[in-house]
């Protein structure tokens, strides 16, 4: 192999020596001219000899000057202009074409070769060594860097749309793709375009069904990376070109999760990159796998959110049915009675009925305010105990029931979701006391038992649970919801009550200390 350093040592002095020789000859001619015409010896030459000598010296000097200018332009200025244009393409993030050498004698050829080598290395660092076509001991490290960039873009997303957009931007930048698209098989139907970049949207409209299928069908049906070295097939179907630039092909990467196809990634890459596709197939498959996991995670979270919303709506419907709906039904009946009383002309009975209606409206207003307060779950940055204090204070002020709160718990013993469920259970218990118990005193106890369990007690001295009205305690909607909430956080809820003896609601949860939560 040739040694680049020795090659430079041959070429660079040759250019310098050539210029020095021409400039030295030019300076010598100038010195001779000065000596001949400025010295006393000039008189020994006749007029014709001096004129001939002047023409020879001036002609030779002019030719030497032209040769110097030609060499500077051809071997310095012209190559530098091409290098400047090449550098401008790099600054504009365009993929530069390799610099072409001029001729074997040009001193800039070595510089051009070095710049082309640097360009390939820069592309390798920007897109990973796998996409630059360079093999070597750092290939695995570069692949890990690419995976890190992609996974980082996935983990910072806060919604499915944001996930796909971030991923597409990162992946397109890494691979230096001209365009990219992501297709997802939503609800096991035909894949739908969920994100795209660098592609004319008119080519991907839903009515362009054949064009869309041309982009994802082979990868989706065969379940493996599909490569098209040119876009001729899809462009023929579309009736127009996808990109102005020539030499663009298509790489379609399937996304699978637990053996099921969930979508396809399209990458529109330069033919020079596609020619090396075999070297980074595993990397593309790994990236697609990470994206598949993230997409399924968002689908699961979306399903969980829908389930929680459905549960909360069911609970609201139950609460409205058990309270406000029954009061409004009673009001409707009372209005009918009032109408009949007014037709009978009984003024005393009419005023009595109006008073009942007014009391029922007050009750409906109280129930509505109680429902609004119950559906709120105030959690404060100071922790669960402070939130419970706020609820108890509000309950005490609105009901005028003597309410006592005893605290023997650490400030933040549980995760936020567990704290929210505990708060909901206490709210539900207080709401049932307000609504049904006719209690005069309420006691709430928070403490940690010796066996590291959080013990929460809500008891009242009211009428207890009337089985004839509500059935067994476990069949009452509010109590059922409380038990379900306790089960979600790994707790146990018991309800102890006898008619006329008040009610005790006991919640026990395994206590987790803050240092356990951090571990």
Same domain, 143 and 292: yes
Quick check: is 311 in a domain?
A: no
- Domain endpoint, select from 126, 155, 187: 126
Mean pLDDT of successive 10-residue segments in the chain (519 residues)? 44 65 75 64 61 74 78 74 73 58 56 65 49 47 67 73 83 85 79 88 87 90 91 92 91 90 92 84 86 86 84 77 71 83 82 84 78 62 78 84 84 73 86 85 88 88 69 56 85 89 90 49
Domain boundary among 298, 326, 344: 298
Nearest-Å Rg of the Cα atoms of the chain is 43
Q: Is residue 344 part of a domain?
A: no
Give the domain CATH number at 440.
3.30.565.10
Q: In terms of domains, do 9 and 83 share one?
A: yes
DSSP 159-208: SHHHHHHHHHHHHHHHHT-SEEEEEE-GGGSS-EEEEEESS-GGGG-TT-
Please indicate, yes or no, whether residues 435 and 514 belong to a single structural domain of this protein. yes
pLDDT at residue 105, as a whole number: 47
Q: Are the C-beta atoms of residues 67 and 22 closer than 8 Å to each other?
A: yes
143, 84: one domain? no
112 plus 255 within the same structural domain: no
The reply to whether 447 falls in a domain is: yes
Residue 238 forms part of a structural domain: yes
Give the per-residue pLDDT at 443. Answer: 94
* 115 and 151 housed in the same domain: no
394 in a structural domain: yes
pLDDT at 101: 60
Q: What is the 3-state secondary structure (H, E, C) of 81-102?
A: HHHHHHHHHHHCCCCCCCCCCC
Does 166 lie in the same domain as 112?
no
Residue 111 within any structural domain of the chain: yes
Supply the pLDDT for residue 137.
40
Asked whether residue 82 falls in the same domain as residue 184, the answer is no
Residues 6+ apart with CB under 8 A from 160: 194, 295, 298, 299, 302
Residue given tokens 């403490």 in the structure block: 447
Report pLDDT for 259: 83
Write the CATH number for 187.
3.30.450.40
Judge whether 75 lies within some domain.
yes
The reply to whether 392 and 443 lie within a common domain is yes
CB atoms under 10 Å from CB of 224, counted, come to 13
Q: Is residue 52 part of a domain?
A: yes
For the chain, the domain total comes to 3
Tell me, rounded to whole angstroms, the distance of Cα 185 from its chain centroid.
Answer: 20
Same domain, 223 and 75: no
Task: Note whether 118 and 146 are same-domain residues.
Answer: no
Residue 158 shares a structural domain with residue 226: yes
Label residue 104 exposed, middle or buried (CB < 10 Å: 0-12, 13-18, 19+).
Answer: exposed
Full domain range(s) for residue 287:
138-298
CA distance linking residue 454 with residue 446, whole number of Å = 7
Residue ending a domain, choose from 126, 155, 188: 126
């Amino acid at each position: 192999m040739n040694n680049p350093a020795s090659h430079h040592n041959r070429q660079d002095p040759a250019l310098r020596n050539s210029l020095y020789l021409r400039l030295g000859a030019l300076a010598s001619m100038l010195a001779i001219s000065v000596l001949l015409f400025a010295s006393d010896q000039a008189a020994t030459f006749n007029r014709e000899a001096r004129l001939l000598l002047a023409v020879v010296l001036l002609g030779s000097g002019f030719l030497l000057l032209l040769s110097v200018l030609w060499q500077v332009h051809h071997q310095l200025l012209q190559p530098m202009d091409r290098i400047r244009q090449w550098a401008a393409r790099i600054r504009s993030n365009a993929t530069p074409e390799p610099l072409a050498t001029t001729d074997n004698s040009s001193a800039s050829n070595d510089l051009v070769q070095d710049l082309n080598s640097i360009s390939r290395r820069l592309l390798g660092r920007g897109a990973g060594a796998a996409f630059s076509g360079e093999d070597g001991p750092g290939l695995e490290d570069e692949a890990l860097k690419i995976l890190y960039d992609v996974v980082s873009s996935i983990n910072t997303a806060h919604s499915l749309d944001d996930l796909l957009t971030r991923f597409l931007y990162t992946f397109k930048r890494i691979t230096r793709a001209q365009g990219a698209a992501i297709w997802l098989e939503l609800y096991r139907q035909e894949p739908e375009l969920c994100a795209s970049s660098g592609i004319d949207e008119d080519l991907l409209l839903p009515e362009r069904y054949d064009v869309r299928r041309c982009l994802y069908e082979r990868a989706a049906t065969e379940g493996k990376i599909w490569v098209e070295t040119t876009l001729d097939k899809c462009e023929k179907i579309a009736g127009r070109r996808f990109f102005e630039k020539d030499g663009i092909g298509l790489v379609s990467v399937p996304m699978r999760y637990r053996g099921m196809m969930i979508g396809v990634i399209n990458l529109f890459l330069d033919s020079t990159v596609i020619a090396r596709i075999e070297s980074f197939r595993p990397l593309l498959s790994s990236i697609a796998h990470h994206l598949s996991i993230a997409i399924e995670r968002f689908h699961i979270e979306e399903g969980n959110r829908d389930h929680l919303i459905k549960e909360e709506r069911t609970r609201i419907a139950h609460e409205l049915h058990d309270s406000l709906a029954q009061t409004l039904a009673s009001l409707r009946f009372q209005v009918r009675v009032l109408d009949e009383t007014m037709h009978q002309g009984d003024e005393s009975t009419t005023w009595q009925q109006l008073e009942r209606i007014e009391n029922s409206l007050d009750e409906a207003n109280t129930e509505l305010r109680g429902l609004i307060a119950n559906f709120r779950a105030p959690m404060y940055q100071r922790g669960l105990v402070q939130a419970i204090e706020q609820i108890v204070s509000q309950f005490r002020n609105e009901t005028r029931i003597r309410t006592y709160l005893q605290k023997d718990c650490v400030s933040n013993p549980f995760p936020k979701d567990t704290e929210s469920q505990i708060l909901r259970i206490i709210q539900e218990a207080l709401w049932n006391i307000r609504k049904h118990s006719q209690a005069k005193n309420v006691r709430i106890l928070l403490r940690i038992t010796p066996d590291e369990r959080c013990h929460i007690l809500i008891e009242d001295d009211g009428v207890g649970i009337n089985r004839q009205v509500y059935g067994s305690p476990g069949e009452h909607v509010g109590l059922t919801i409380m038990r379900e909430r306790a089960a979600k956080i790994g707790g146990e809820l018991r309800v102890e009550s006898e008619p006329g003896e008040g009610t005790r609601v006991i919640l026990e949860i395994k206590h987790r200390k803050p240092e356990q939560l951090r571990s």
